[in-house]
Amino acid sequence: MKRRVKSITNLQNKRRMLVFLLCFFLATIALVVRLGFIQIIHGEEYKKQAMENWSRDITISAKRGTIYDARGKKLAVSVNSSTVTCIPADVKKGIQSGEKENESEEDEAGGFITSILKKMNKSMFGSGKSTAAESIPINTKSPEETAKVLSEILEMDYEDVLKKITADYSSVILKRWITDEQAQKIREAELSGITVIEDNKRVYPYGNFAPYVLGFTNTDQDGQYGVEATFNEYLTGIPGRTVVNTDASGRELPFGYNEYYEPKDGLGVVVTIDEVIQHYAESAAQKVLKDYNAKRATIIAMDPNNGDILAMSSKPDYDPNNPKEPLDETIKQEWDILSDEDLMKAWYDMWRNPAVNDIYEPGSTFKLLTTAIALEENAATLQSTYFCDGFVRQIPGENIKCWRYYRPHGQQTLSEAIQNSCNDALAEIGLDIGKDAFFKYLKAFGLEEKSGIKLNGEALGLLKKPSYMKDVDVVTQSFGQGVAVSPIQLVTAVAAIANGGNLMEPRIVKQIIDEDGNVVENFDPVVRRKVISEETSKTMLSIMKDAAEAGTKQAYRAGYRIGGKSGTAQKVIDGKYVDGKFISSFIGTAPIDNPKAVVLVMVDEPDSSIGYYGSIVAGPVAADLLENIMKYYDVEPIYTEEELGKVEAQTVEVPSLLGLTIAEATDKLIHAGLESNITIEVEADRIVKSQFPKAGEKVAKHSMITLILN
């Protein structure tokens, strides 16, 4: 019996042992499978998480490329600055404070070894002794204390700082582009999780100078408008990185992993804008805006031979250094009460480039295209004559009048009709051309397509197709009504008339260069198509010269052979003509025997009580600008004997202004009967480094002298 009981007991023990071994085997298999699952299948993921816990990957901004003018002057640069970044998790860990917190908190923050060393130190040397272990910096500031220190140094709201440094993000930017003094104070404060990094800030040295060409960047240094946006891929560099091992408080470990990847700076962009000519255009636009209390003034200057945009200005404008702040204090106050949605719309309205983004009825400036088409189609010659009785009688039932219906022009040649800006004559010319040929040539002049300028948001012109056109549409279109174009489209079309008939693609950037000035890429001039013959071009230039000298007398400048045409168009708002609101314009070129520049001046809503005719408002502005450009290009004036006598009596010698302050130079120019290009507020003690024209040259009274500062 005992043997039997013993046998049963042994059997049970063996079974238990087998079950235990089986369980142990299964547990081992499960553990191996689990370890394999962790190490093989999810190994990389856990490795990445571990790396994130004990390493910091800090992005190093690349410097954005410089934007240069056509002669190498810097219009947009990136400068070194400091930015404060924060790792919220490290700020929260910083709540530990040496002896006050328990060991479990020290262990959680990675301070276990430090704790042991402290205990060893106390037992060996007593609490009054100092060792390497105690010299390890331990952040004793809570997030609230850290926020208080930062808000005082950075001059920020305490609650905003606290919210940022305790946010549930891996990293946040507290403030960009702080002063060197602020950066030093933050470094000295030794705040856990807070880092001052080298950053780059975009700076536009000339302030609100050509903002619609240059555009601006956002806080991440990405181009938003203008060349900054359209050539962003060239200007943007490749960011660098630095990867370091850190302890739980964000401090770099002395023997940890440390890798540095150098950033690659962006490429430079050379625009076609000439800083001197742009200054002329900016000054002219600001002056006509003020003189006629206008809503807006827009000016474009183009080289007709290669399509280069020499200047593009529109006033009022903005400062790309601070693109969300209007320059006008009254507008700034009005914006303070706007809703977020209305404020956003106001920003976009301020940033849009009227020279490229807007279309308008060109009025009588369009008569140049009508005349060129008629000459090319043999629908008119210089010997053609037209009779004006004040009314367009070719369209029965339509009440269309010449602008001078109260004193008709009578019998006139083609050239005289353009000088007189006679609607009656142009109506007859338009009907002689016919709607099909008219549309074909207007399309060839590029008015139904984008000009191709490398600026964002370009608008398309509006033309009626022949199938939708009636005779009345042909008549009104012939003198610039019922058709809409953008300023850049009109300039490009008239440039084709001036250069022998080639429609050019407007060029705003001509080169991409590296930091050493080596050319990386060229953007050559592009001829899109031949529109008219050279013979028609020469005839048109002669007609334009007569129109400027005999018609728009305000655009005449002795010796500089200016040709052009003025326009006065009633403004269209919501599809209707508005009484008392006009767009006054003038488009011209010089010198007429070898055109080097085409200029369009467009003044939106000049005060009609002061003047609104294009010949009065825009003509003199365009003529002055063309004259200044010709002088800048050293184009020799050619005078008649009568002109020579008048000019010599009205010339003055340019004084030397080098080394003088702005205040001194301005006073000297005023006493000499001259003007300066300085129209924006600058410090009175800024020094004149260069001038144009140079000292000793003879110029006409009231000429503009360009002052270049340090």
List, for residues 347-397, the tens digit of each pLDDT value.
Answer: 999 999 999 999 999 999 999 999 999 999 999 999 999 999 888 888 887
The predicted structure's pLDDT at residue 644 = 74
| 343 membership: H or E segment, kind and range | helix 340-351
The predicted structure's pLDDT at residue 96 = 44
* More confident: 429 or 121: 429
User: Do the domains 57-94+139-267 and 276-317+327-649 sit in the same CATH topology, yes or no?
Assistant: no
The predicted structure's pLDDT at residue 175 = 84
The predicted structure's pLDDT at residue 76 = 95
The predicted structure's pLDDT at residue 98 = 38
The CATH fold of domain 276-317+327-649: Beta-lactamase (3.40.710)
- CATH number 3.30.10.20 given to 650-710: yes
Bridge partner list, 569: 583
The total number of residues written for the chain in this structure? 710
Say how far apart CA 413 and CA 508 lie, in whole Å. 39
Which of 695, 302, 294 minimizes the C-alpha distance to 490? 302
* More confident: 46 or 125: 46
> Residues 611, 554: contact at Cβ < 8 Å?
no
Say how far apart CA 296 and CA 284 lie, in whole Å. 12
Give the number of other Cβ atoms within 10 Å of residue 345's Cβ: 12
Question: What pLDDT, in 10s, does the model give residues 20-74?
Answer: 788 888 888 888 877 777 777 766 776 666 655 556 666 677 889 999 999 999 9
Strand 268-271, strand 67-68: pairing: parallel
The predicted structure's pLDDT at residue 54 = 59
| 651 membership: H or E segment, kind and range | strand 651-653
Q: Indicate the CATH number for domain 57-94+139-267.
A: 3.90.1310.10
Question: What pLDDT, in 10s, does the model give residues 84-123?
Answer: 888 887 787 655 433 344 444 434 433 443 343 344 334 3
Bridge partner list, 83: 197
Ranges of beta strands (E only) in 29-73 are 55-60, 67-68
Say how far apart CA 60 and CA 238 lie, in whole Å. 9
The predicted structure's pLDDT at residue 667 = 86
Question: What pLDDT, in 10s, does the model give residues 558-583?
Answer: 888 999 999 999 898 887 888 889 99
Please name the residue ranges forming H helices in 463-573: 471-478, 487-498, 534-546
Domain edges within the chain: 2-41, 57-94+139-267, 276-317+327-649, 650-710
Q: 216 pLDDT exceeds 80?
A: yes
The predicted structure's pLDDT at residue 6 = 62
SS (H, E, C) 159-201: HHHHHHHCCCCCCEEEEEEECHHHHHHHHHHCCCCEEEEEEEE
The beta-carbon contacts of 647-650 under 8 Å, at least 24 apart in sequence, are 647/558, 647/559, 647/700, 650/700, 650/701
Give the number of other Cβ atoms within 10 Å of residue 655's Cβ: 16
Confidence label for 257 from pLDDT (cuts 50, 70 and 90)? low
